[in-house]
Structure 1
Amino acid sequence: MKPRLAAFPRFDGSEPCRASDAEPDWWTSSDTDDRAAAQLACRRCPSATFEACLAWAIDHPTDAGDAIWAATTESRRARLRREFAITAPKEPK
């Protein structure tokens, strides 16, 4: 059975990453201050969108790359994937 992959989050324009005062480069910058600003912005996101964004980034590591998604870094998402793999119940055969 193939694992189910989360769909790309649906944005309605009210998310902090879409705000007029948000710098789009924050989420992909290598500058630690920019990345911290992106993470702070993500934490203001509505919980449903935040969760959808995190699920997508965890399920699509190549597409998410090293950008900030749902206030997480690439390394944090890798740790979460490992944790989920360890604790996920086994599916019956």
Structure 2
Amino acid sequence: MPTFTAKVDDAGAVVLPKELRDRLAIAPGATVEFFLAWDGQVHVHAITGTTEGLAGLVVEKRSPPLSIREMDDAIMDADLERDERSKSGRRPERAGQAAE
């Protein structure tokens, strides 16, 4: 697994190494998110695209399109709801089935 090193300047800025920016297609002005995991690891998520490339795959077109972050949040919400249902003893609902 490749590793990359950068230094933090006095203002707290970090310049990502060019090879990493190239591999992740990070252009100037791109948004980069940092996630701190419960075990102390930091994960970096470069937001390099939008959902516009998925046009036609969904019924409803939203303007502005959903961000990757919004999609991640919706997936997490669904997982948490499914987890709560399993803890309460209720069976998870399946598409097309009515809730119990």
With structure 1 as the length reference, what TM-score do the two structures score? 0.28
More strand by share: 2
Task: State the structure with more CA Rg.
Answer: 2
Larger RCO (CA within 8 A; separation ≥ 6): 1
More helix by share: 1
